[in-house]
Amino acid sequence: MRWTVFRHRKGPNHTGYSVRGRRSGAVRAIVALLVLMLGEWGLTLPGTPDGPGAVCRAAASAAAAGTRFQRSYGLQGSDERARTVVPSSDGGFLLVGTVSLTPPTYPYVIKVDAAGNVQWSRTYGDGNAWTGGAVAAADGGFWLAGSTDRDIYLVKMDADGNVQRAITYDGGALEGAGTILATSDGGFLLVGSTSPGDLSPSQPLVVKLDGSGSVQWSRTYTLSSSTAQTFLFSVVQTADGGFLVGGDRSFYDYRTGQYTYSIVLLKLNADGTVQQGWELTNPSFGSVSLGDMVTTFDGGVLLVGTTVVGMDGNVSDDDMLAVKLDSAGNVQWSRTYGRPGVLDEAGTAVVRTPDGGFLLVGNTHNSSSGFDAYAVKIDGAGNVQWSRTYDGGGGEGIATAVMAADGGFLLAGDTWPDSTAYDDMYVVRTDDLGEGTCNSAPATTVMATPAIAVQTFGVDSSPAPLTVGTIAFPSAVPETQTENRCRYRLYLPLVVRGP
């Protein structure tokens, strides 16, 4: 069972070689020619001992740039994608995702320092494990959750990535976990699904664990509609000690050959029983999908995702979506965010900020410039405060984001140089205004107010007994390569020496 992150993208990237870490002969020739020209003309590049500035405008001063960076990370001849970021106590970050060698797939963890330098990296498993997420442990290590080809796994690592414990949860079918949440009692909540077979419909599955990984309860959920598939992948703990679990419901219309999506939310008590089910739809165009959600200071929740805002024939125009709900599931406000003249924007993650606002992240796409990372900072009422795009030299998509200790942000996802190349993990570290070191530009964002409808629906819940076991979870130390994505833009302010 494979878990993937929603991303606006036209198709997979596969090729027989990697462009990572390779500088073309043409670029080398240009650089060599510039060096010869500068020497002959008596010119100096600012930033050399004889010049007052810097070669790269964004990297002019380490003090000015602080800990901002834009980098990619990966292995030779494979696809890497970031799924989760976990801030570490030393100011660095754990980049957690997967590496795929077509078909073997491994959980992949990279530890970077505050400046983005690789401190260590590891792959895990025997080639049939996928990453559902990670959370920090009290001892400085972390817990990694995900799926094998049949079971859920939970693995405890120390601060250096060494495996200390590896636990499995088997319900006698095909179980998978796509999300892990650290709960207020020191335990964990796993959100995923269970299915009797690869081609059989799946049911949402939620598992509550204590701090040692022992099962406290586990339940499946059957929604009232039998003609739609539901996948739950996002969860927050609510002020009453319960949980709000969210995901997407998809309905396939055989007459048109089209899918329609809606957002599904389950409000659960602390023991996993259901209080209420809510479904959010877009009555104007039909489709709305969830990226992520976060609790708000007033006890409500903010959802970020994607919705259709227009149609051009059979081609939809999508915008980033934010919906603010109160604790009873009532819509307080809803907004869409898009760039004028740009075909698509998608929302995949949200960060709550100390000023009562939020950072919405995802990607933006048009036919001329391709995919770029996209961030929109809003206040508590949904008004845009700033928005920016980030270009890593190819196509970029953001899957997750966190706030750093200094008030800046770290955005992570993947980048692909072109439609035939392998993916790399892609990371942008910004300041509190979203400014990076390079290849970042302010974006004109147009805001609108969509009519989002909320309906309640019935949910049946049943206990789902799980057998707890152990698993060998081998780890390996790969040769992780990292690349400064700022090299794709060259700034050459020249200073001419006087006579």
Mean local confidence (pLDDT), 28-55: 35
Please report whether residue 444 resides in a domain. yes
Four-CA torsion 153, 197, 254, 304, nearest 10 degrees: -10
SS3 of residue 473 by DSSP = coil
- Which amino acid is present at 165? R
Residue 403 and residue 91: Cα distance in Å, rounded? 11
Please report whether residue 372 resides in a domain. yes
Please report whether residue 477 resides in a domain. no
Residue 276 and residue 268: Cα distance in Å, rounded? 7
**Structure tokens belonging to residue 63:** 């003090």
In this predicted structure, what is the pLDDT of residue 33? 36
Contact between 373 and 398 (Cβ < 8 Å): yes
Task: List, in order, residues 6 or more apart from 220 with CB less than 8 Å away.
Answer: 194, 203, 204, 205, 461, 462, 464
**Structure tokens belonging to residue 130:** 């996928």
Find residue 410's DSSP bridge partners: 402, 429
- Which amino acid is present at 137? A
Residue 370 and residue 348: Cα distance in Å, rounded? 18
For residue 198, what pLDDT band results from cuts at 50, 70 and 90? confident
Number of Cβ atoms within 10 Å of the Cβ of 485: 26
Mean local confidence (pLDDT), 276-281: 96
DSSP letter at 18 equals: -
Which of 426, 449, 472 terminates a domain? The answer is: 449
Please report whether residue 357 resides in a domain. yes
C-alpha separations of 467 from 148, 220, 294 in Å: 15, 15, 32
In this predicted structure, what is the pLDDT of residue 227? 63
How many domains are there within the chain?
Answer: 2
Q: What is the pLDDT of residues 394-422, one digit of tens each?
A: 899 999 999 999 999 999 999 998 777 89
Please report whether residue 479 resides in a domain. no
Average pLDDT value for the chain: 84
Which of 15, 33, 54 terminates a domain? The answer is: 54
On the question of pLDDT at 8 being above 60, the answer is no
Contact between 58 and 462 (Cβ < 8 Å): no
Q: Is the pTM of this model over 0.75?
A: yes
In this predicted structure, what is the pLDDT of residue 36? 35
DSSP letter at 74 equals: E
On the question of pLDDT at 66 being above 80, the answer is no
3-state helix, strand, coil in the chain (%, to 5): 5, 55, 40
Which of 54, 77, 103 terminates a domain? The answer is: 54
For residue 28, what pLDDT band results from cuts at 50, 70 and 90? very low
Q: Could you list the residue range(s) of the whole structural domain that residue 38 is in?
A: 23-54
Residue 317 and residue 366: Cα distance in Å, rounded? 10
Phi-psi region of 216 (alpha: psi -120 to 50; beta: other; left: phi over 0): alpha
Residue 192 and residue 49: Cα distance in Å, rounded? 57
Q: How far apart are the first and last CA of the chain?
A: 71
DSSP string, 243-306: EEEEEEEEEEETTTTEEEEEEEEEEE-TTS-EEEEEEEEBTTTB-EEEEEEEE-TTS-EEEEEE
Find residue 467's DSSP bridge partners: 170
On the question of pLDDT at 234 being above 80, the answer is yes
Percent of the chain residues topping a pLDDT of 90:
70
* 237 closest CA partner among 194, 204, 206: 206
Contact between 100 and 79 (Cβ < 8 Å): yes
Q: What is the pLDDT of residues 244-272, one digit of tens each?
A: 999 999 988 888 888 889 999 999 999 99
Please report whether residue 407 resides in a domain. yes
Please report whether residue 356 resides in a domain. yes
On the question of pLDDT at 48 being above 70, the answer is no
Please report whether residue 94 resides in a domain. no
In this predicted structure, what is the pLDDT of residue 215? 98
Mean local confidence (pLDDT), 453-472: 95
* Phi/psi of residue 122, nearest 5 degrees: -150, 150
